[in-house]
Structure 1
Amino acid sequence: MTKNLISSASLEQDNLIAGGIMPIVTDIVTLKSGAAYLRGSVLAVITATSLAVKVDSTKSDGSQVAYAILAEDTDATSVNTPAVVYMTGEFNAAKLIFGGTDTITIHKKALRALSLFAKTLQG
């Protein structure tokens, strides 16, 4: 009997990454419990707890300042959860996710200062 050593997989492109000139650097943050976070979420860090949440310019606890972009969907509904984030790179502005009613217009300059470049893709 022969053993099947070949498996198949699929790769689904989400177009979050928008270029290859700027190197991508990753790190780990701990996401605050109470939510499921999606890849592409722009994160901020709450000063008092050092926990990451989606950036929201209406807050005043540190979470109003962009810090990183979430690299993969992460479920933190029940417990604070470590997650991989992008610290630098080029990203599709249309795929970035913000907290509250925030948009790329509010955070683009701050992201640029962090070497997180939000690009508008054509076509």
Structure 2
Amino acid sequence: MHAQLKTEGSYQPTAILAGDAGDALVRKVVIPAGQILKEGAVLGIITATKKAVLSTAAATDGSQTPDQILAYDVDASAGDVEAMAYWTGTFNTPALTLGAGHTVDSVFQTLRGKGIYLA
């Protein structure tokens, strides 16, 4: 069974969600040390470590492919941090943080194929 934010603690979804929060599913990800990311960051997964970073178009480690959307601000400056990231749902595009080289148009189809819809 997958976690849902409405049943995981006291987190309250913000304006990032364009659809019903009950339709958005999340899963745990590990944000590697040195990352400070904002809610709505479009994440890619590093193939070798399975850790999630801000997806950038020029990456060559697997994280260049947008995969999930960070559910809340994360400060991993002092070490790896477990966080929650959306892997399905409908999201407001102005609330997203895109890495270098990505645009809404460049991530749209990839995210759509993963069950993430942009409005």
Aligning the two structures, in what range does the TM-score lie when normalised by the shorter sequence?
Answer: 0.7 to 0.9
1:70 Cα offset (Å): 0.4
Distance across 2 between alignment mates of 1:14 and 1:102: 23
What are structure 2's unaligned runs of at least 5 residues? 1-11
What are structure 1's unaligned runs of at least 5 residues? 1-11
Contact 1:40 1:70 in 2 (8 A): yes
1:29 aligns with 2:65: no
More helix by share: 2
1:38 aligns with 2:43: no
Task: Specify the alignment match of 2:67 in structure 1.
Answer: 67
* Structure 2 counterpart of 1:70, one-letter code: L
Count of residue correspondences: 108
CA-atom RMSD, angstroms? 1.8
Task: Specify the alignment match of 2:54 in structure 1.
Answer: 54
More strand by share: 1
1:22 Cα offset (Å): 7.9
Q: Deviations over 1:6-54 (max 9, x none)?
A: xxxxxx9852111129811110000011121100001011011111101
Structure 1 runs (4+) deviating above 4 angstroms are none
SS of 2:110 mapped into structure 1: helix
Percent sequence identity is 31
Q: CA distance change for structure 1 residues 21 and 29 in 2, over 3 Å: closer, same or farther?
A: closer
Distance across 1 between alignment mates of 2:78 and 2:102: 25
Distance across 2 between alignment mates of 1:74 and 1:109: 26
Distance across 2 between alignment mates of 1:28 and 1:75: 15
Contact 1:22 1:90 in 2 (8 A): no
SS of 1:105 mapped into structure 2: helix
* Structure 2 counterpart of 1:20, one-letter code: D
TM-score by length of 1: 0.81
* Structure 1 counterpart of 2:91, one-letter code: F
Larger Rg: 1
Task: Specify the alignment match of 2:85 in structure 1.
Answer: 85
SS of 2:111 mapped into structure 1: helix
